[in-house]
C-alpha cells in the first residue's frame, strides 16, 4: 500500500526508490541532495541521532547521493554498523524492502545477520534467491523452511538446488513439497527426480493434471482479475473464476494472489490453505479496505490475523485496531495491548457492546472506570 508523501518531503537522490518520509521531519535534511554536503556526510558517518531502522534507511538513501565521497562513506558505514543497530533493525518488518535487500547483499557472509534478514518477511524474494545459491547449510535450511517464499518466487528453489553446500536431504524435502504444491520447474533436475519419486516414471517431465496457471487465468479473464480499477465482476464471471481456482495448484494460487487484483484476492483469501491466504494478505497490492475487512472477519484464518496485528503500520489505523479488538479470534494478550491505546469514547462503546468477547467488554469497562475515576487528594 502506498500513500502520497507530504509536499515538505525533499525529493530523493536520482535512482533511489523512495523518499525521506520515514525520517523525522527535522532530520530529513541529512539525506536531501539539495542540502550542504557536510550535513549529508554526518548521516553517512552515522553521526545523526536516528533509530536503528531509520539509520539503515538513511544510509541506503545516501548510497545514491550525488556526491561520491558521501556515497562511499555511506557504503563503508553500512558494512561496519555495530550489533546494537543491526540486531534491532534487521528484524524490523517496517524497514523498506529495498533496504533489507541491500543489507542482505552486504551481510550475506555474516550468518547471524543473514539469518535475521532471511527470516524478515519484508526482505525481497529476489535478494533471498541470490543468497540461496551460495549460503551455508544452516542458512539454506532456514530458506528452505519458508514455504511461501519457495512457491511465490521460483528462483529461490533454483538457487537452493544449485547450491553445493545445501544438504541433499533438504533439497529432496523442498522439491517434494514444491512438486506436491504444483510447482513445475522443467530446468531443475532435482524437481524431475521429485516428480518420479512422488508420481512414478511417467511424471518425469510433468505431473499429472497440473491445472491452469496464474498467467493463464490472468490472460483468460483479462482486466477483471488483473486491473485494480476493474468494475465488480458479474456473477457468471465470478463463478468461472471459482471454477478455475478449484483446479489450480497451491503454487499457482499463490502467484495469482500476488499478481491478481482485489477480485482475485477476495476469492483467494477464503482458501483453506494457509499459504494461499497469507500470500493474499502479504500481497504488495493489498489495500487498506481489504486489511480492515480481514481484521473484522470472525471466520478469518489465524495466520492472516497474525500478519495484520503484527504490522505496526496497519494497526496505526484506528478502524483496523477496533476491528481486531472486536474479533474473538485475536489473542487476548494482543487485544489488551490495543485496548490501552483506545480513547474513552471507544472504550465506552466496547464496554456496552454485547457482540464483543466478554473478557474484552469487562476489561474495557475497567479501563474506562480507571481513566474517569476522580483523583484522590491528600487530606491536609
Mean pLDDT of 112-138: 96
pLDDT tens across 157-204, in order?
999 999 999 999 999 999 999 999 999 898 999 999 999 999 998 888
Which three three-digit cell numbers place residue 201? 516414471
In a domain, 78, yes or no: yes
pLDDT for residue 2 is more than 60: no
SS3 (DSSP) at 260:
coil
260 and 331 housed in the same domain: no
Q: Are 99 and 51 in contact (CB under 8 A)?
A: no
Residue 379 lies inside a defined structural domain of this protein? no
The CA-atom distances, in angstroms, between 188 and each of 139, 143, 154 are 21, 18, 11
Q: For position 173, what pLDDT does the model report? A: 97
Residues 50 and 75 in one domain: yes
Q: Give me the mean pLDDT over the 2-20 stretch.
A: 77
Contact 286, 265 (CB under 8 A): yes
Give the sign of the dihedral formed by CA 9, CA 10, CA 11, CA 14: negative
pLDDT at 1 over 60: no
Note down the domain range covering 175: 134-205
Residue 36 in contact with residue 9, Cβ under 8 Å?
no
Residue 210 or residue 311, greater confidence: 311
Distance (Å, whole) CA 204 – CA 191: 9
The reply to whether 352 falls in a domain is: yes
- pLDDT tens readout for residues 79-114: 999 999 999 999 999 999 999 999 999 999 999 999
Closest C-alpha to 181, from 303, 307, 272, 276: 276
User: Does 3 fall in a domain?
Assistant: no
What rounded mean pLDDT belongs to the chain?
92
Q: What is the pTM of this model?
A: 0.85
Task: Provide the number of structural domains found in the chain.
Answer: 4
351-371: average pLDDT = 86
Whether residue 235 lies inside any domain: the answer is: no
Amino acid at each position: 500500500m502506498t500513500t502520497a508523501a507530504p509536499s515538505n518531503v525533499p525529493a530523493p537522490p536520482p535512482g533511489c526508490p523512495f523518499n525521506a518520509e520515514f525520517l523525522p521531519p527535522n532530520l530529513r535534511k541529512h539525506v536531501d541532495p539539495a542540502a550542504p554536503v557536510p550535513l549529508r556526510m554526518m548521516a553517512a558517518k552515522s553521526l545523526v541521532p536516528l533509530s536503528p531502522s531509520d539509520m539503515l534507511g538513511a544510509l541506503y538513501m545516501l548510497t545514491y547521493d550525488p556526491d561520491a565521497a558521501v556515497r562511499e562513506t555511506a557504503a563503508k558505514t553500512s558494512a561496519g554498523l555495530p550489533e546494537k543497530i543491526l540486531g534491532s533493525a534487521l528484524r524490523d518488518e517496517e524497514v523498506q524492502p529495498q533496504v533489507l535487500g541491500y543489507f542482505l547483499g552486504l551481510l550475506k557472509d555474516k550468518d547471524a545477520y543473514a539469518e535475521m534478514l532471511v527470516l524478515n518477511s519484508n526482505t525481497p524474494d529476489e535478494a533471498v534467491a541470490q543468497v540461496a545459491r551460495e549460503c551455508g547449510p544452516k542458512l539454506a535450511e532456514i530458506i528452505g523452511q519458508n514455504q511461501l517464499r519457495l512457491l511465490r518466487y521460483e528462483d529461490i528453489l533454483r538457487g537452493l538446488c544449485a547450491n553445493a553446500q545445501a544438504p541433499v536431504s533438504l533439497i529432496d524435502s523442498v522439491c517434494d513439497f514444491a512438486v506436491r504444491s504444483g510447482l513445475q520447474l522443467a530446468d531443475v533436475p532435482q524437481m524431475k527426480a521429485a516428480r518420479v519419486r512422488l508420481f512414478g516414471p511417467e511424471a518425469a517431465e510433468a505431473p499429472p493434471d497440473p491445472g491452469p496457471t496464474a498467467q493463464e487465468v490472468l490472460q483468460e479473464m483479462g482486466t477483471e482479475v488483473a486491473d485494480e480499477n476493474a468494475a465488480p465482476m458479474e456473477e457468471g464471471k465470478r463463478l468461472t473464476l471459482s471454477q478455475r481456482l478449484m483446479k489450480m495448484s497451491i503454487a499457482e494460487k499463490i502467484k495469482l494472489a500476488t499478481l491478481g487484483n482485489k477480485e482475485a484476492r477476495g476469492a483467494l483469501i477464503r482458501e483453506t490453505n494457509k499459504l494461499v491466504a497469507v500470500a493474499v494478505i502479504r500481497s504488495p497490492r493489498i489495500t487498506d479496505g481489504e486489511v480492515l475487512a480481514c481484521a473484522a472477519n470472525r471466520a478469518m484464518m489465524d495466520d492472516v490475523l497474525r500478519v495484520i496485528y503484527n504490522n505496526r503500520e496497519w494497526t496505526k489505523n484506528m478502524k483496523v485496531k477496533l476491528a481486531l479488538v472486536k474479533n474473538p479470534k485475536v489473542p487476548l494478550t494482543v487485544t489488551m495491548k490495543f485496548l490501552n491505546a483506545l480513547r474513552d469514547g471507544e472504550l465506552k462503546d466496547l464496554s456496552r457492546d454485547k457482540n464483543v468477547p466478554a473478557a474484552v467488554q469487562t476489561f474495557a469497562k475497567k479501563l474506562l472506570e480507571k481513566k474517569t475515576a476522580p483523583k484522590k487528594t491528600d487530606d491536609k
